[in-house]
Structure 1
Amino acid sequence: MTETLRLVDSSALADLGRFATRARALDADGAMRLQASGFVLAAWVGVLPGSGILAEGTVLGLRTFALEEPAELDAVVPLSAVTDRTARASASSTEIGVPPMRALAAWAAVTPPKGPWEPVGDLPGDLLAEVARVGLQEVGDAVRERGAAAGFVRDRVWARDVREAAGPHPDLLDGDAVPADVTVRAGGAFAAYALGFLAPGEVVTVLRSNRWTRLTAPGGHVIMR
């Protein structure tokens, strides 16, 4: 098994660290799945858990990185171990040692398809960012008012479609900003926003593969079931 990953440059290693830091802000005790095959590293994180045998409602974040040397790896490690290693790396470093400790993450057992993915339309990244901010406000208000009982509100907020989420806020629906045949759960908008995948003025491509939906944004991918 690969013990050290060598990325193409120091910027890629810094990006991996920032990705892990954002994911850790969502779940301090979370995990990252590192899958390397050849010259590509896929780094997965869990954003929202699914439920039931089919893990419906699962929302994952994915970033891919080019490797300087080929590697073979599939390991689930603590996010804290990734952030610790990238934080200690020098400004010119391109290497990260694979953490020896392993983590348990239910979402890591859910394997999205490699394809084929069929494009079904685009969504404005600014719309998804605003839907995420509105949802975060609603969830935050529920937590302050209901405490531990806010879980139901959280699930409802992130399960609704972005069109429904924008409904109470007409300013979010600008003409054909949300094509009628493009349905995306607000949880996907939350993941793309929280993980830093969105860029002002840029669009997000929506793709489908069976029961899965993928959002491909400028900074990464969100995969939902």
Structure 2
Amino acid sequence: MNLLLPDLSSLTDVRTFVGRARQIDEGGAIRLVGHGPTLAMYACALHGAGGPTVLALRVLALAEPAEVDATVPLASMADRFARIDRLMAGSRPTPRSVGKPIEMPVPPTTATNASWAGVAPPRSGWDVHGVVPFALLRQAARAGIDEVAAGVPAGSGASAVARLRGLVWGRTLLEDASTGASVGVPAGAAFAAEAFGFLGKTEDDSASLHSAGPWWRLSTARGHVLARGSSLF
């Protein structure tokens, strides 16, 4: 099956999202959900080892309506990009070609290591809880990355690394300013927002914060982070 993207910049958007997901987990997967004129792309930033489940979500427009729900290996997507590059090799981009719809094949291979894809955040019913400054998210992300790097000695096994990541990124990110009580957003949400480039390069902006049941959502103009406090699946 092919998805018809509006233009080359949309393909670049998908490629960037896949590339950032591969930096987190080279052997990971992406879930592609096409519904009518929109494509939702989900990738996992954190899951398992008793830590939080944190997903990144980017939504794009399609040039042609589609109905698809496929979870495929990131490596297979990279292979499709390489094939598109070979087909386009030697063709000089023009304003007309850049704005022309382009087909993106959906790999036929289903990812077998993506248990997170069965975790379904709600599509509606989100309550608004204000905003979270980008500066706070960046600080939490970088502090957590440094702590994980410093806390795992060379030669540590994958399970030890996973446990430490679950501990660090499962900590509460925020407190209620009026009561001092913890707000259940896991720090891993900050990690995902930074790792997937959803914070951009500005310092004075903020992400909107929402909740629905056990789920939290950070939303920016570049994408969304969906998080729940522990891996129960």
Q: Same fold (TM over 0.5)?
A: yes
Q: Structure 1 82/150 Cα, relative in aligned 2: closer, same or farther at 3 Å?
A: closer
Find the residue that maps to 1:162 and give its secondary structure.
strand
Deviation at 1:130, TM superposition (A): 1.6
Deviation string, structure 1 residues 74-94 (Cα, Å, up to 9, x no partner) = 111111111232344346462
Amino acid at match of 1:162: L
Q: Please say if 1:130 is aligned against 2:139.
A: yes
Give the number of equivalent residue pairs.
207
CA contact (8 A) 1:206 1:213 kept: yes
Counterpart position of 1:196? 197
Who is 1:184 aligned against?
185
Superposition deviation, residue 145 in structure 1: 5.6
Matches within 5 A, 1:121-160: 121-144=130-153, 147-148=156-157, 149-160=160-171
TM-score by length of 1: 0.84
Shift of 1:122: 0.3
| Unaligned segments of structure 2, at least 5 residues | 229-233
Aligned-pair RMSD on alpha carbons? 2.2
Q: Distance in 1 between matches of 2:207 and 2:131?
A: 5
Give the structure 1 partner of residue 22 of structure 2. Answer: 24
Equivalent position SS for 1:214: strand
The Cα of 1:101 is off from its aligned counterpart by: 1.1
Matched with 1:211 is 214
**Distance in 2 separating the partners of 1:43 and 1:198:** 18
Deviation of residue 50 (structure 1)?
Answer: 4.1
Question: What is the Cα deviation at residue 218 of structure 1?
Answer: 2.4
Q: TM-score, normalised by structure 2?
A: 0.81
Aligned position for 1:95? 103
1:12-32 deviations in whole A, cap 9, x for unaligned?
Answer: 110110000000111111000
Deviates more, 1:75-84 or 1:63-72: 75-84
The code of the aligned residue for 2:43 comes to V
Hey, what's the Cα distance between the residues in 1 that align with 2:116 and 2:217? Answer: 16
Does structure 1 retain, via aligned residues, the 8 Å contact 2:72–2:110? yes
User: Do the aligned partners of 1:36 and 1:72 also contact (CA within 8 Å) in 2?
Assistant: yes
C-alpha separation in 1, matches of 2:5 and 2:78: 16
SS of 1:147 mapped into structure 2: coil
Which residue number in structure 1 is paired with residue 81 of structure 2?
86
Question: Which of 99, 103, 106 pairs up with 2:115?
Answer: 106
Contact 1:14 1:86 in 2 (8 A): no
* Cα distance in structure 1, aligned partners of 2:210 and 2:111: 30
Q: Deviations over 1:26-68 (max 9, x none)?
A: 111100011001100001111111468xxx7211111011000
Q: Percent identity?
A: 43
Match of 1:171 in 2: none
Which of 188, 213, 223 does residue 220 from structure 1 map onto? 223
Q: Secondary structure at the match of 2:153?
A: helix
Q: Structure 1 unaligned segments of length 5 or more: list them.
A: 165-175
